[in-house]
Amino acid sequence: MTRRPRQVGVNVIVHYRVARETGATIAVERTGEGSWLEQEAGWMSYCVNHSQVCWHPTRALAIYHAAAPSGWCGDCARIADGTSPRITTGKVD
Ligand SMILES: [Zn+2]
């Protein structure tokens, strides 16, 4: 599901989705100027449930990785491999 861009601090959330593989809610954000998180990458996938971040050079990569958080979020990886229970409360508000 896509929503309109929303400013969060100096970052802008441009995309939200509930990852099918774990049920976690993932935000795709454009890092803002002056952000303490700012890196050369410029884009990030953010696991809202586990507060994990994965940096990307392009928006397309950030959206691509938002669909598969088990590749970069350790807690999501434990859900994907069956160690932890799936998240059932994930939603796009
Ligand atoms: Zn996660």
For residue range 36-84, list pLDDT tens digits in order. Answer: 555 556 889 999 999 999 988 889 999 999 999 999 999 999 999 999 9
pTM of the model: 0.82
The alpha carbon of 32 and the centre of ligand 1 are apart by a number of angstroms equal to 22
The alpha carbon of 65 and the centre of ligand 1 are apart by a number of angstroms equal to 12
Q: State yes or no: pLDDT of 91 exceeds 80.
A: no
The alpha carbon of 64 and the centre of ligand 1 are apart by a number of angstroms equal to 15
The alpha carbon of 53 and the centre of ligand 1 are apart by a number of angstroms equal to 9
Q: HEC profile for 27-68?
A: EEEECCCCCCCCCCCCEEEEECCCCEEEEECCHHHHHHHHCC
Q: Average the pLDDT over 3-26 and give the result.
A: 82
